[in-house]
């Protein structure tokens, strides 16, 4: 099977497995795992922050980061398709008592005018108070788009005294594609999360970064939620290996995504705009094709290609380090035949 459902399906390489099996470990609940500590300090430094916290998932890193910025009964603003609103199972409301209000924009982009209209820092005792704004970069369901207007939003929030939360699950993709250092993005946010188990190819884990005080609070909440872990250095070692070996090669995934987009656009004009595929995610709109998402997914699977759906008419294909140029071309040609 050629699996392009997500970049989370990657498996550790021999070199990564060797790093994992040789990692020094300790009890991380006692903050005594040296490899976890090294990962947290490394990622915090790369992202321009004081401290970091290793978590089992990006969703948990976001839950902890948002909760550190917003009190129960307040709200966070985000784009309607953002992961924090759409794909974390209502955790911010269910666990933290935090609601969301959203703006909608093509590709999940920042829209300053809409955000200005939504912000309610203090409208009296009958209105929910806006506590923070969350931005996802790259935007998953927007098709792996890189945020524009990011610094302008950060500047405006600084004036308003509102913190910015950055869901940087694929921040290294944004950085490699744009040439903007990850620190230039993450340092503008009061709390930022980055994922190691997507394009970077680690088997598990994300890191939340922020001030030392914010991370100390997040560490308490991680334990309170039952997510403290012990000798996690075997997992942290995979993250360190990924940071050393797998960042620059993300450009290959981006090239593969554009290749897929070009093949699909040729088979079904209008379904994809290749020039808008910026990173490693291709979203194809089937509304004008006459085929259902379920039909195409099933047909592709029957021919040895796994892909996903992210909407009533939208297919998603995600490139990654375990899918070669030949794999991506074969997958795209298989889907193209089905679309024709």
Domain-located, residue 4: no
Q: Which two tokens stand for residue 279?
A: 């990173």
Domain-located, residue 90: yes
Give me the CATH number covering residue 261.
3.90.1150.10
pLDDT tens across 204-234, in order?
A: 999 999 999 999 999 999 999 999 999 999 9
Same domain, 123 and 39: yes
- What is the rounded distance in angstroms from the CA atom of residue 301 to the CA atom of residue 334? 10
Same domain, 186 and 297: no
> What's the pLDDT score for residue 285?
96
Same domain, 158 and 66: yes
Give me the CATH number covering residue 151.
3.40.640.10
Domain-located, residue 306: yes
Same domain, 238 and 290: no
> What's the pLDDT score for residue 11?
97
Same domain, 139 and 267: no
Residue 75 region by backbone torsions, left for phi larger than 0, else alpha for psi between -120 and 50, else beta: beta
Give residue 39's pLDDT band: very low, low, confident or very high (50, 70, 90). Answer: very high
Same domain, 141 and 93: yes
Domain-located, residue 2: no
Same domain, 213 and 257: no
> What's the pLDDT score for residue 252?
98
Same domain, 258 and 187: no
Same domain, 225 and 292: no
pLDDT tens across 59-108, in order?
A: 999 999 999 999 999 999 999 999 999 999 999 999 999 999 999 999 99
- What is the rounded distance in angstroms from the CA atom of residue 180 to the CA atom of residue 171? 10
Give residue 22's pLDDT band: very low, low, confident or very high (50, 70, 90). Answer: very high
Last residue of one domain, picked from the residues 200, 218, 245: 245
User: Model's pTM, two decimal places?
Assistant: 0.97
Domain-located, residue 179: yes
Sequence length of the chain is 340
**Residue 133: its H or E element:** strand 130-136
Domain-located, residue 5: no
Average pLDDT rounded to a whole number, residues 307-322: 96
Last residue of one domain, picked from the residues 199, 219, 245: 245
Domain around 312:
249-339
| Domain count within the chain | 2
260 contact partners, CB below 8 Å, separation of at least 6? 4, 282, 317, 319, 328, 329, 331, 332
The answer to whether 109 and 148 are in contact (CB under 8 A) is yes
Same domain, 144 and 268: no
- What is the rounded distance in angstroms from the CA atom of residue 307 to the CA atom of residue 296? 9
Domain-located, residue 1: no
The answer to whether 87 and 8 are in contact (CB under 8 A) is no
Same domain, 164 and 292: no
Last residue of one domain, picked from the residues 245, 270, 297: 245
Nearest CA to 166 out of 142, 147, 139, 193 is that of: 193
Q: What is the SS3 assignment for 202?
A: coil
Same domain, 221 and 315: no
> What's the pLDDT score for residue 70?
98
> What's the pLDDT score for residue 325?
98
Mean pLDDT of the chain: 97
Domain-located, residue 3: no
> What's the pLDDT score for residue 311?
87
């Amino acid at each position: 099977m050629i699996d392009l459902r997500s970049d989370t399906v990657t498996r550790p390489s021999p070199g990564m497995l060797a790093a994992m099996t040789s990692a020094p470990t300790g009890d991380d609940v006692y903050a005594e795992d040296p490899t976890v500590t090294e990962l947290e300090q490394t990622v915090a430094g790369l992202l321009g922050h004081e401290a970091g916290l290793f978590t089992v998932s990006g969703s948990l890193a976001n839950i902890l980061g948002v909760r550190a910025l917003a009190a129960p009964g307040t709200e966070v603003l985000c784009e309607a398709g953002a992961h924090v609103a759409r794909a974390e199972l209502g955790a911010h409301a269910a666990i933290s008592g935090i609601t969301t209000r959203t703006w909608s924009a093509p590709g999940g982009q920042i829209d300053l005018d809409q955000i200005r209209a939504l912000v309610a820092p203090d409208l009296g005792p009958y209105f929910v108070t806006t506590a923070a704004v969350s931005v996802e970069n790259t935007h998953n369901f927007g098709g792996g788009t890189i945020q524009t207007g990011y610094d302008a939003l950060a500047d405006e929030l600084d004036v308003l005294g509102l913190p910015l939360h950055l869901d940087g699950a694929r921040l290294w993709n944004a950085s490699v594609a744009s040439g903007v250092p990850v620190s230039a993005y993450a340092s503008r946010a009061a709390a930022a999360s980055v994922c190691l188990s997507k394009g970077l190819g680690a088997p598990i884990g994300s890191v939340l970064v922020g001030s030392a005080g914010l991370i100390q609070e997040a560490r308490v909440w991680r334990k309170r939620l039952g997510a403290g872990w012990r000798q996690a250095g075997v997992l942290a070692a995979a993250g360190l290996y990924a940071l050393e070996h797998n960042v620059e090669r993300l450009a290959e995934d981006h090239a593969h995504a554009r290749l897929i987009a070009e093949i699909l656009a040729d088979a079904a004009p209008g379904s994809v705009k290749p020039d808008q595929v910026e990173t490693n995610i291709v979203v194809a709109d089937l509304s004008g094709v006459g085929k259902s998402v379920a039909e195409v997914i099933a047909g592709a699977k029957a021919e040895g290609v796994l892909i996903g759906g992210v909407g009533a008419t939208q297919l998603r294909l995600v490139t990654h380090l375990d899918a070669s140029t030949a794999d991506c071309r074969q997958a795209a040609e298989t889907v193209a035949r089905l679309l024709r």
